[in-house]
Structure 1
Amino acid sequence: MVQLKADVLVLGAGMVGVSAALHLQKLGRDVILVDRHERAGEETSYGNAGLIECASVFPYMFPRDFKQILQYALNRSPQVRYSISDLPDFLPWLVRYYFASSPQRALHSAMAELPLIQQSLVEHEALIDEAGVPELLRRTGWLKLFRSETSLAKAVREAERAGQYGVASEILDSKAIAAREPHLTGDFAGAVHLPAPGFIADPAALARAYAALFVRKGGRFVVADARSLTQEAGGWRVDRVAAREAVVALGPWSDLVYRPLGYAIPLGFKRGYHLHLKPGGNAVLNHPVLDSDLGFLLAPMNQGIRLTTGVEFARRDAAPSPIQIDRALPRARSLFPLGEAIEAKPWMGRRPCLPDMLPVIGRAPRHPGLWFDFGHQHHGLTLGPVTGRLLAEMMTGVTPFADPLPFAADRFG
């Protein structure tokens, strides 16, 4: 028996789902937000570098450099590792990722996403103000450190290219790095400072603040299993909650809903890890700092210094592996004074990715009233509010602020 009814069910209370619910609510829809957890932001949205990456014009595509590919293949890259036993599961997706990363197709993806990237911080600022949590947003930007002249030169070229699209950056020498971050140690060829991106000191708290705003404005949050989604006369139902329309915003678990409905959208997973540590002594980290050549990032979160790893290719639900954290931790300690770990074990998350590094946003082609909003790759925190706005405009008949065609579900055939 149906107990609750609404105009729209939004399945998933991560940053993407909560943002979609807020924008639909703003445009007059009665929305129920559904999640298996009692709080928002408990899965992928909990663990990330905390960056609202409004400067990230070019997506993370598969490299074309042979030496780098060979390093990946031999599992010797600090930025990427893979599980050999899981290779049959993700290799077909990896091949599609490689072909989608050709220079021409990569540029197409970048230009399609550019309006979203450029608007991303603006949308967050509006929600942060309305939610009353300005303390979660810091205006530091972030630093990319480079240990070799070769990697620095490549980064400078990339910064110049991004500058053509309005992205500000500053190249720092070793003295300038020491002035910005006096507690870092190491031999650096230089760094790139990106001043525009916002930094969120507690990404999970931001998702919860947005969810609290949604509820204060009359929205309803229901704990239920989205896998029970069924189509019925007049709309969609999850357990005892029903609505005319439903939005699948389940991140890396979206396939558990769309595959039974007959969709073969090629969703892949880039797993990643983080660990919070206490700063050593009186050491202070002023910015998120990426050690580009060694493949880890340190971010000054409210919980402590967050050490984040690169990418791990493995089955979504395979057991966590400590390898990347174990490798990164001594390198991180040599970069910045770190004390004891705050958690007993590292956290693991899954980034939901499509081969072209664009999310799926829009109507489900064969099911009236069903909508998709997932696959935000490395930018779920960044893009959640802006794709929520785009989706809400599409669902309510408002002229979309950006072209939604590149994000259509049927682009994969």
Structure 2
Amino acid sequence: MKFDAIVLGAGMVGVCVAVHLQRRGLRVALVDRKAPGNETSFGNAGLIQREGVYPYALPRDLATLMRYARNRSLDVRYHARAMPKVLPFLYRYWYHSRPDRHAAIARSYSTLIEHCVDEHRALIEASGAQALLRTGGWLKAFRSARKQEAELRTAERWRAEYGVAFEPLDAAQLRRDEPSLGHALIGALRYTEADSVSDPNALVAAYARYFEALGGRIFIGDAQTLAPQWSVDTDAGRIDAHSAVIALGPWSDVLTARLGYRFLLAVKRGYHMHYAARDGAHLNQPVLDAEIGYMMTPMARGIRLTTGAELAYRDAPATPVQLDAIEPIARALFPLGERLDAQPWLGSRPCTPDMMPVIGPASRHKDLWFAFGHAHHGLTLGPVTGRLLAEMMVGADPIADPRPFRADRFKC
């Protein structure tokens, strides 16, 4: 029951950290309260976003902010009672979203994004999960020429700055690609180098089985029992290790606070529901309804409809008003049949105010490491995060410069 490293959190990020440490010769224990991939990593649109060099910023124009303030927007909702706690985060988020600051963040963030597809494909091959992978990109679809032209200008800038590949589709091309979509859409952009998967939970589970095949051990346990230097309670008893990694997603700040760290971490909650397809309809790739703010993705279970962001306390009761609001809009766009889930799934994305994850060593504890705060890109960045942190921990040359992601940038 002695290990070289304990990784706390068996979502996409934690599993990938464990895999990469085990591949580098360490004896690793992966600990979570549930089986791998059954919290935040369970519910998302399944995208591996090679185009995501600019993390999602907070709009700064007054018209959009006023629309959000009325709390009737389809893409962003909030719980009023949570706002006193969330406002300090939102202010720092707004601060970092200024175009020049956002551009500086992208220069660092892109050093991870550029590896996301290659690192996933390597683990997919190693874990035998090729059947889950869908290549060929995803579609951002438009209802108005104004929105389409604005997004095309943005995509052209991303291509010039970071080599992001895309192709525009007019209405006729979109009909040929997705004949089951309604005619409200006038065109789309396809981000051609992105991948997607048909079951994110199954992908995490495949990576976890690969970790075990490498000799790693998975335990059900309580991360909050972590004690220096370093041990944690599990269903198999107390286990000890030389080092520990906190990769608990939206629960990371609970444990780091107990250890004396103060991260300004917030959550963006999101919902999904699966649907059958009516009348032989078929969806070939993920499609974002860009002006409404929801995504439809073909999944192993059915068509997954995912919502935008909900700002709330992490553990507040579910309020799936966004899902209820977008469902009739989605039904008008694609022939969705009956709901296939007993209730909407709810998850929380862990977000930092500067939109970048925390990856690296703790400042006040020896052999304690952090890997959390990936917001909308936990699935996308899991493998490259795992590789980067493992290389740092064993003293190898890192795949990317880790300094922009260091924990002490928050002076916590």
Q: Shorter-chain-normalised TM-score: which range?
A: over 0.9
* 1:236 partnered with 2:230: yes
Amino acid at match of 1:135: A
1:266 to 264, 267, 272: 264
Whole-angstrom distance in 2 between the partners of 1:168 and 1:352: 28
Residue 373 of structure 2: aligned partner: 375
Residue 137 of structure 2: aligned partner: 141
Whole-angstrom distance in 1 between the partners of 2:72 and 2:146: 19
2:11 to 10, 14, 17: 14
Residue 195 of structure 1: aligned partner: 192
1:266-305 deviation per Cα after TM superposition (whole angstroms, max 9, x unaligned): 1110000000000112000011000011111000000100
Say if 2:15 and 2:204, in contact at 8 Å, map to a contact too: yes
Say if 1:140 and 1:286, in contact at 8 Å, map to a contact too: no
Amino acid at match of 2:231: R
* 1:77 partnered with 2:73: yes
1:90 to 66, 86, 106: 86
Quote the offset at 1:340 in angstroms.
0.3
Residue 175 of structure 1: aligned partner: 172
Amino acid at match of 2:142: F
Structure 1: any 5+ residue segments left out of the alignment? none
Whole-angstrom distance in 2 between the partners of 1:370 and 1:137: 34
* 1:209 partnered with 2:209: no
Say if 1:100 and 1:356, in contact at 8 Å, map to a contact too: yes
1:102-132 deviation per Cα after TM superposition (whole angstroms, max 9, x unaligned): 1122112111111210101101111110101
* 1:222 partnered with 2:222: no
1:316 to 304, 310, 314: 314
Residue 303 of structure 2: aligned partner: 305
Whole-angstrom distance in 2 between the partners of 1:272 and 1:65: 24
Say if 2:28 and 2:217, in contact at 8 Å, map to a contact too: yes
Map 1:348-367; keep pairs closer than 5 Å.
348-367=346-365
Say if 1:186 and 1:334, in contact at 8 Å, map to a contact too: no
2:154 to 153, 158, 163: 158
Say if 2:96 and 2:353, in contact at 8 Å, map to a contact too: yes
SS at match of 1:123: helix
The percent of aligned pairs where both chains have the same amino acid is 52
2:32 to 27, 30, 35: 35
Whole-angstrom distance in 2 between the partners of 1:152 and 1:70: 23
Whole-angstrom distance in 2 between the partners of 1:194 and 1:105: 25
SS at match of 2:380: helix
Quote the offset at 1:10 in angstroms.
0.2
* 1:120 partnered with 2:116: yes
1:388 to 386, 389, 403: 386
Deviates more, 1:69-78 or 1:281-290: 69-78
1:226-272 deviation per Cα after TM superposition (whole angstroms, max 9, x unaligned): 000011xxx20101011010000000000111001110111110000
1:399 to 397, 400, 409: 397
Whole-angstrom distance in 1 between the partners of 2:258 and 2:185: 51
Whole-angstrom distance in 2 between the partners of 1:172 and 1:77: 27
1:72-95 deviation per Cα after TM superposition (whole angstroms, max 9, x unaligned): 111132211111122112111111
Whole-angstrom distance in 1 between the partners of 2:81 and 2:214: 48
Q: TM-score, normalised by structure 1?
A: 0.97
1:362-383 deviation per Cα after TM superposition (whole angstroms, max 9, x unaligned): 0000000100000011000000
Deviates more, 1:297-306 or 1:144-153: 144-153
Quote the offset at 1:162 in angstroms.
1.0
* 1:60 partnered with 2:56: yes
SS at match of 2:73: coil
Say if 2:23 and 2:214, in contact at 8 Å, map to a contact too: no
Residue 412 of structure 1: aligned partner: 410
Whole-angstrom distance in 2 between the partners of 1:198 and 1:188: 23
1:158-204 deviation per Cα after TM superposition (whole angstroms, max 9, x unaligned): 11011111111111111111111000003223211111111110000
SS at match of 1:224: strand
Structure 2: any 5+ residue segments left out of the alignment? none
Whole-angstrom distance in 1 between the partners of 2:134 and 2:397: 32
**C-alpha RMSD over aligned residues:** 0.8
Say if 1:276 and 1:343, in contact at 8 Å, map to a contact too: yes
Residue 131 of structure 1: aligned partner: 127
Whole-angstrom distance in 2 between the partners of 1:93 and 1:318: 18
Say if 1:254 and 1:374, in contact at 8 Å, map to a contact too: yes
Aligned residues: 406
Residue 294 of structure 1: aligned partner: 292
Whole-angstrom distance in 2 between the partners of 1:151 and 1:81: 22
SS at match of 1:58: coil
Say if 2:52 and 2:113, in contact at 8 Å, map to a contact too: yes
Change (3 A) 1:77 1:186: farther
Whole-angstrom distance in 1 between the partners of 2:339 and 2:87: 34
